[in-house]
Structure 1
Amino acid sequence: MERMKRDAYKKRNQSLMMYTAAALLLGLGVTYAAVPFYRAFCGATGFGGTPMVSQGRFEPSRLVPISYFGDTGSRIKRIRVTFNSDTSDSLPWSFTPVTKEIHVLPGETALAFYTATNKGKKDIVGIATYNVAPDRIAPYFAKVECFCFEEQKLLAGEEVDLPVFFFIDKDMLEDPAVKDVEEVVLSYTFFSARRNEKNGQLEPDTDLSQYTVGMDLPDLK
């Protein structure tokens, strides 16, 4: 009888140890998965300023320049993309586009650069917002790599190059509202960074509700 009790306690302790080990492994798994899950969430929702990524949008088959309309065979005009820059009055930075303009086809990737220089006497963290015009092209303007909404710390007198890698989704050709767009303006504005009182994160020192993507610049025809 006593032996049966000891065997029962032994089995119960072994089961408890297995459940505990499983719980620890699960906890570790969730911890390590939290970072990629957060990144995936940001990419899907735009949370935290992360450029939104649609499922399959960056597949190689989609990043192919389209030169002719398939139904008519007529030639597609290149889209002129110009780059604009600005800084807030409180930020002692020089911020200019190195690339003034690029002409791209739908589906064609392009790389442009901006230059930022801290002309102040102390190190400063800046954050940039961006806008695309005309606003109706914004859903098709995809930034693969961008410095918008990322903390940029410049030492006093430091100069950095900031890249923008983008393409205009070829799906625009199927949208009557934008298929004839010939000019696009990509505009960035740098602000000093401030600490959000609620979540402690750094953000542009401005009213972000005034910087909805594609809504700040006049519509282009």
Structure 2
Amino acid sequence: MSANQNGTDKAKNGANMRIVIACSAFVLSMVGVSFAAVPLYQLFCQVTGYGGTTQRVEQMSETILDRKIKVRFDANVAGGLPWSFKPVDREVELRIGETIQISYTAENKSDQPTYGQATFNVTPMSAGAFFNKIQCFCFTETELKPGETMDMPVVFFVDPAIVDDLDAKDVTTITLSYTFFPHAPEKPVAAVAEPVQDSNTL
């Protein structure tokens, strides 16, 4: 093999190695971006109501309109969670801006304590930014003891600003849907042990 050919082979190998490194770096960066995109997407949905994500607020609306709107309630349980879950009322009619409380019920059908976490959305999606929850069981993990039945209230109102939105102003019926998924119980944070004083320092 000539020196020129040997040098050419080394150059090709070096170029190939640089391509492999560049491709690997690109793949790793895309994986990192995909993980970062999940919380960013969730935050975006919470702020904008995109995808039918409802809003969480601390106080009631100060404005109540004469116009009424219907809200229907849907309930689902994912596989692996032995619960019965349903709304007490399938539908209510309220004035836009009026704060009301409705309830769901859940029952643990198993002989073991079980834990669930609810996800939620509203349809049509354009109404998500205007569906405001003050209180909801979906904000925290839920534990049900064997055979236990629990009442689960939801306090909400429809923001009066919905009547001024181009996409949502003609909405007359909103469906609020929940799905409970199995959830591992949260472990308590271990208490930080107080440092033991060295007797030699006393």
Q: TM-score, normalised by structure 1?
A: 0.57
Instruction: Indicate the structure whose relative CO is greater, using CA pairs within 8 Å and at least 6 residues apart.
Output: 2
2:122 to 127, 132, 145: 132
CA contact (8 A) 2:56 2:134 kept: no
The verdict on how the C-alpha distance between 1:129 and 1:91 changes in structure 2, with shifts beyond 3 A counting, is same
SS in 1 for 2:161: helix
Q: Which 5+ residue runs of structure 2 have no aligned equivalent?
A: 1-44, 48-53, 189-202
Is 2:43 the partner of 1:85?
no
Corresponding position: 1:151 with 2:141: yes
Q: What's the CA shift for 1:160? A: 0.4
Choose from 91, 94, 112 the match for 2:102.
112
Structure 1 residues 51, 137: CA separation in 2 closer, same or farther (over 3 Å shift)? closer
Percent identity over the alignment is 38
8 A Cα contact 1:118 1:155, kept in partner = yes
Amino acid corresponding to residue 186 of structure 1 in structure 2: L
**4+ runs deviating over 2 angstroms:** 50-53
CA shift, 1:112, in A, is: 0.6
Q: What's the CA shift for 1:137?
A: 0.5
Length, aligned pairs only: 139
Give the CA RMSD over aligned residues. Answer: 2.7
Deviation sequence 1:81-122 (CA, Å, 0-9, x none) = 000000011110000100211111211111110000000110
Structure 2 residue aligned with 1:65: 64
- TM-score normalised per structure 2: 0.62
Q: Which amino acid aligns with 1:170?
A: P
Instruction: From the superposition, tell whether residues 195 and 154 of structure 1 become closer, same or farther in structure 2 (CA, over 3 Å).
Output: closer
Q: Which runs of 5+ in 1 are unaligned?
A: 1-44, 68-75, 202-221
Amino acid at match of 1:52: R
- Deviation track 1:59-92 (CA, whole Å, cap 9, x = no partner) reads x6x333201xxxxxxxx3x211000000011110
**Offset of residue 195 of structure 1:** 6.6
The equivalent position to 1:97 in structure 2, one of 87, 108, 122, is 87
Give the drift of 1:176.
Answer: 2.0
- 1:19-71 CA-partner distances (Å, limit 9, x unpaired): xxxxxxxxxxxxxxxxxxxxxxxxxx969xx9533xxx73x6x333201xxxx
Structure number with bigger Rg = 2
Aligned pairs for 1:1-221 within 5 A: 52-53=56-57, 58=59, 62-67=61-66, 76=67, 78-194=68-184
| Paired AA for residue 99 in structure 1 | D
